[in-house]
Structure 1
């Protein structure tokens, strides 16, 4: 399967990426300075870089470019360091432009919805699909516990599975796992850690 990586930049946050295949978002890397640090070619500008999907992980597609040396693992999916091969189709570019505007509004504290953004869940188990649907329905400025998320997905008692799903989430903001917290505190936020989770919640007016 072939996907195209589109970089974007949000002032005050850093550089991120949107990965798209045939009008479907297959991964979203939240803007961060860590990704910028391993992306020396970003300033030159890129329209999109085709890459291959090498396999599926437990909770999402595991995407890597053909040259793993260009992938910054500390910051997720790094930006391409070479020239673009070909031009993305208009439909795909329109989807990325629209999603980039939503992400920028979100990270500037404007209540934002990702309704209508199609994401790839072909890899997901039935439970993971139910968790994704339930998480996407959590409104701006509200939080639920991992146990609550499991219950909302129709799987009460699956709090541990809900936690694992959120830890491996590859659709930051689109699946708003930052709004899913532990019963006794903020909980984790994958490799990014709780500090980023707290920042995202704070801009939505949530105080924990």
Structure 2
């Protein structure tokens, strides 16, 4: 379990286990909902975990962690910077297509823009922008995952072309590309994709200038 590896202590608050970790100058707050998330989503993992895959949920249900318990991801990062753990890192999830066997799935809550500046069905799912707290928490989570063996950071689009804006230029540049530059993680390099995936666009690697 990631919490134990990171040396987090747990306290019971309102029926939810709250785990806290301090690393460098940042504090990472992790709400542990593994007991509330559907165990039926978990499969036996046979491969070594060496990658994290970044996603956007494409919607927001507010800041109540329990409302995300059915999301298929190991971690969900809320707009206020809270990180919710739904499944053990040791479990394989059907979350990231060709990366499933080796990866940890991280969902950032929000319906984020594409390079063209548009949102997916904004009248239904809203128009969101990643918050500073969300970006800080995502970066800190990747730091912690690196400490337990994660060396690669991928975008969901790299394993499924139809997820072309997943996680989108804002999350990728602020968290994914940051991990490549600051942490030395690899995204496979220009042109890298698996299965039916599509490479990371060059525009995502630069600070996003959205139409």
Name the TM-score, length of structure 2 as normaliser.
0.29
Name the TM-score, length of structure 1 as normaliser.
0.29
Name the structure where helix makes up a greater proportion of residues: 1
